[in-house]
Structure 1
């Protein structure tokens, strides 16, 4: 009889893991307190970022840090009341973001990113979700030649070291690509390899339906009820249908992983970067053709099925603090200056929390001190990108296959020896 498995967390990481386990003959039940894909996986820029081999580091420039201190930017915002609690995480994040350490982390991180498109393609085709995918990359818009030159030099480095494809766009090229874009942009950088998703929540739901077609089940339950089974072997979770037992459990809980692991004696330095989005109609006959980031301002515009989605940068705050969408208000004001946005289409701003480790890499592997427990969380800005690759890697390790990637760099033991 195949081992029974509970996957806790039904975001893109958990659903992808459940699929790969079900494909390998495991009896899998996916458990979440909400319906699948409604937490962090719901709100993002909708990019499968093949170019994202270098994780987002903590700024090292003192002048820039001073400017962040004024707390009036779009790309980053903080709650002063949370800073004392956040200092240990931010300190370690800053330390790992040193140039030499950051470059070493990128080399360790890159194999996951490099496989992101191929692994998504597998699940997209299997789930019949092709209508949600565009394969024309995304662009970064530049207001100054200094920023443009620096970003193009970095793109050239990534092309040489990691095989990333890009194209430099002049002011005239940009005008042809985006005729309704306003503002004095000097040009753009177009990343050619990434795919974009016109409905990230819809993609997670399509993957869920594929999982269910493989015999998998979904149950409503709370990860806080996780406990060892009375027999001493396996795990139990309370669900709306009563207690659910399994031989093995996978924790794919995103920013809530710290709650579950801390109860078991682990100390993962997991921080969160909160983010916001809002959808808008386009005014008149205006069309936004590309996923586009205003590089010097730090917000993103994405032409999705529901409308044009505006996403903000990172908010550093307590994970469960009330919404404070000041970045969204700042971004909307600037975005309306460069593109004819019409009315808001959402009743209120959406907010989610990205789960981040200080070394910018996810936690993937077997729990060091508990039998029958596996971890898959901490993917920061790249949860959507890395869902299928992570799911395959975890499933291969759990079933004794040779992993298609060396998982050493992402092992839990780096934080919990």
Structure 2
């Protein structure tokens, strides 16, 4: 077995390294405020996509000037273009994978998960937090994400500053019961945690697409990784953790995940329950919590998740189905046969059989008669994204109807229309009523 170059000694040092550029700006902003005041202001910043800098200290203006200079070459732009093309085709799947794979995988890691629980950013008002995370992923997945004034770069700058604020709030909380255990946890939102999160938004998504039966060419996989590595550097990830090589990136991701994920996880079940309950509300309880847990179990593909995330244990038959599906979709010959552009196979009888098996596995067989050619996991993603698209970003909990005067999830309707987000409904009873 080849020894990883990402040693425990090196990664341990990364746990005590923050982001000096953003931390300097955060200190100027919040040095004289207590932890609660900082967290309250972070919640306000998270809702406002355009920050007015005129009343901010000079250090904050300097931060935005420094971080808007993203140097790229022609080859970088070509890979950004290809990655954005993949997103334009399958971005709605990213949404489902974010909720059922990327975020729960992160929750399996007690140390970074403790930051989320401590700040309550993914426990209180979970639906809002979910929406904001999804919108960040959507904002940066465009060809010009790196250009000043682009929503992608503005999102990166805002989130990076928020991370620095969280570090300040957590490390300077005077309450004895909230004292940050630096020796055990390291710096909040440290370099190792940032690298892990970056992989969850890139490599984990690629793997999830495979598990959905959507297989990319090698150059497409590398383009997605390359784009997110540049996004990561712009987010403050240090050069020592930069991995341009696809194989090396997987090595880093697996090494960090192995180090950090754990079945013994106090905060994991709390975070997962908040996430799945918010998703259940978005789909109007068409999918039960048990179904949502089944989908999460499938994409996580790790027995430790049952305890670490508080998920129910699947039946023997369901567990065997998941194992076989993961084995088949990982095979190169399968990925070639069912490549995303092979419409003859993807629309044929074999795909229908697979779709039916997936529907049975997740208890959605009643819906199969309406969507025999549709991947039901893709449909679930579309339904959740359709609900997100209706929400007012500044009044999320109270809004469930469209108002063109308010800032919504999509800045324009192009992707909404291209993905046909309004064309799916899993509610069998509603469909039966409509058919009368």
TM-score tier after normalising by the smaller chain length: under 0.3
More helix per residue: 2
Question: Structure 1 length normalisation: TM-score?
Answer: 0.27
Name which structure has the greater RCO, CA cutoff 8 Å, separation 6+.
Answer: 1
More strand per residue: 1
Question: Structure 2 length normalisation: TM-score?
Answer: 0.26
